[in-house]
């Protein structure tokens, strides 16, 4: 079987999507699938440097993504009449009109679509943003077969489209790196070798960890307030290490107001081996998201024996199972109290995490996709 993966525009720097594409590009050929990755390339976007996902650079990137790239897909579909296409991001459903019926799409979440429909008061989209998400949703509704990363995402998709349940399945994501718990000495040694990446931390320093982008649903303001309550009400002496995009101006102002700035460590572009070391020696992962598609960091942390403290909402409850401590992300003071109490019982939580993460293997993910490829290829 010839398989063509359709990935994302690299300059948009959607790290989770880029990592996901590389994971499939690595694993699928091991199953004797002739696999190619294609993605929009910057042509117009190169006229604006540095590129950013806003203003004129964003619009020029749209020309690359939605004018030039569909032509490339149509040519590719003609050259490869028996190939199966896999759209790796639900936002790329807009390419479906240019592809054959032998197409599978992965739906990671419907958060922006739901925001465009007014379901999240804290996330308002402008007129153009709403139209863009409506365009994506219209095309999602015509997908031949869709693989959702969680049951929560599947429920949302079936609620918002007329798709039949038979055309929407669940294929949970496997980990994109072979995460495992490192011996503390090995972990701290690995961190010490990274210069400025780990310079703010000395071996043995206690810290809580948060991993993720700066999107609204990650609830960084809530994270900061939980951490502040841990310090002031429960005398937690460690730092908070935030891996992902730098704090926004609003988040920085909150940190200053709560006197947290000296106790925060912000790290960007952290490679998997360093992230593995951080998980291995952190006191716990604090993950107070309002919403998620799946929540990769929950599984990464559990694979490394890092206790998980997260929101009592789906899909976090679905993914972390009984191996996490849950709290209401809307109540930072109560959440801090729950986390403080759970930190005293973290060894048993870590052991439960090891067991839970076995439900999310790369092998099971690839098996699920191969089954779907066979289904869409059958009519041909």
Whether residue 170 has pLDDT greater than 90: yes
* Confidence (pLDDT) at 195: 58
Q: CA-to-CA distance for 165 and 324, rounded, in angstroms?
A: 30
At 156, is the pLDDT very low, low, confident or very high (cuts 50, 70, 90)? very high
What is the pLDDT at residue 197?
A: 55
Residue 194's pLDDT is what?
64
Q: What is the pLDDT of residue 199?
A: 60
Domains in the chain, CATH or no CATH each:
2-174+362-377 (3.40.50.2000), 184-357 (3.40.50.2000)
Calculate the average pLDDT of the chain.
93
* Closest C-alpha to 149, from 113, 107, 90: 107
Tokens describing residue 368: 């699920």
H runs (alpha helix) in 149-219: 151-160, 184-192
Predicted local confidence at residue 79, as pLDDT: 96
DSSP state of 65: I
Would you say 102 and 380 are in contact if contact means Cβ atoms under 8 Å apart? Answer: yes
Angle separating helix axes 15-27 and 362-377, nearest 10 degrees: 80
- pLDDT of 34 > 90? The answer is yes
Q: pTM for this structure?
A: 0.89
Q: What does 285-339 look like in DSSP terms, one character per residue?
A: EEE--S--SS-HHHHHHHHTT--EEEESSTTHHHHHTTSSEEE-TT-HHHHHHHH
Instruction: Give the strands of the sheet with 284-287, arranged side by side.
Output: 264-267, 239-243, 207-211, 284-287, 308-311, 325-327
* Residue 67 Cα to chain centre, angstroms: 27
What is residue 302's predicted lDDT score, i.e. its pLDDT? 96
Q: What is the pLDDT of residue 349?
A: 85
Q: Is the pLDDT of residue 369 over 70?
A: yes
pLDDT at 284 over 70: yes
- pLDDT at site 259: 96
Contact 181, 304 (CB under 8 A): yes
Residues with Cβ within 8 Å of residue 254, at least 6 apart in sequence: 221, 224, 225
Using 50, 70 and 90 to split pLDDT, how confident is the model at 15?
confident
Residue 198: pLDDT over 60: no
pLDDT above 70 (res 380): no
Residue 100 has pLDDT above 90, yes or no: yes
Tell me the C-alpha distance between 373 and 380, whole Å: 12
Section 13-26 average pLDDT: 91
pLDDT at 196: 52
Max avg pLDDT among 12-21, 141-150, 350-359: 141-150
């Amino acid at each position: 079987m010839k398989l063509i993966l359709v990935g994302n525009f690299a300059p948009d720097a959607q790290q989770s999507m880029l990592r996901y594409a590389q994971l499939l590009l690595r694993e699928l050929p091991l199953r004797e699938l002739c696999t190619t990755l294609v993605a929009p390339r910057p042509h117009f976007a190169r006229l604006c440097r540095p590129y950013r996902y806003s203003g004129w650079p964003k619009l020029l990137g749209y020309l690359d993504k939605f004018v030039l790239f569909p032509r490339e897909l149509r040519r590719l579909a003609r050259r490869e009449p028996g190939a199966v296409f896999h759209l790796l991001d639900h936002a790329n459903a807009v390419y479906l009109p240019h592809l054959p019926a032998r197409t599978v799409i992965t739906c990671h979440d419907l958060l922006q679509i739901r925001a465009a429909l007014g379901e999240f008061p804290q996330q308002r989209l402008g007129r153009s943003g709403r139209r863009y998400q409506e365009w994506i949703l219209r095309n999602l509704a015509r997908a031949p077969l869709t693989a959702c990363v969680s049951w929560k995402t599947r429920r949302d998709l079936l609620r918002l489209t007329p798709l039949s349940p038979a055309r929407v399945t669940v294929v949970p994501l496997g980990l994109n790196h072979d995460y495992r718990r490192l011996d503390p000495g090995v972990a701290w040694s690995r961190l010490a070798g990274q210069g400025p990446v780990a310079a703010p931390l000395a071996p043995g320093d206690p810290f809580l960890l948060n991993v993720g982008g700066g999107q609204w649903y990650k609830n960084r303001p809530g994270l900061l307030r939980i951490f502040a309550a841990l310090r002031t009400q429960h005398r937690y002496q460690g730092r908070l290490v935030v891996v992902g995009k730098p704090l926004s101006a609003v988040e920085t102002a909150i940190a200053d107001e709560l006197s947290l700035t000296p106790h925060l460590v912000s790290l960007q572009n952290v490679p998997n081996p360093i992230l593995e070391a951080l998980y291995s020696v952190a006191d716990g992962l604090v993950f107070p998201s309002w919403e998620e598609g799946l929540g990769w960091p929950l599984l990464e942390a559990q694979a490394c024996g890092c206790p998980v403290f997260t929101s009592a909402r789906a899909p976090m409850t679905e993914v972390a199972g009984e191996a996490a401590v849950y709290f209401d992300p809307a109540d930072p003071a109560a959440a801090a109290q729950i986390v403080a109490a759970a930190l005293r019982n973290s060894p048993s939580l870590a052991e439960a995490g090891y067991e839970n993460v076995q439900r999310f293997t790369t092998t099971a993910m690839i098996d699920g996709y191969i089954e779907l490829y066979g289904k869409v290829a059958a009519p041909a």
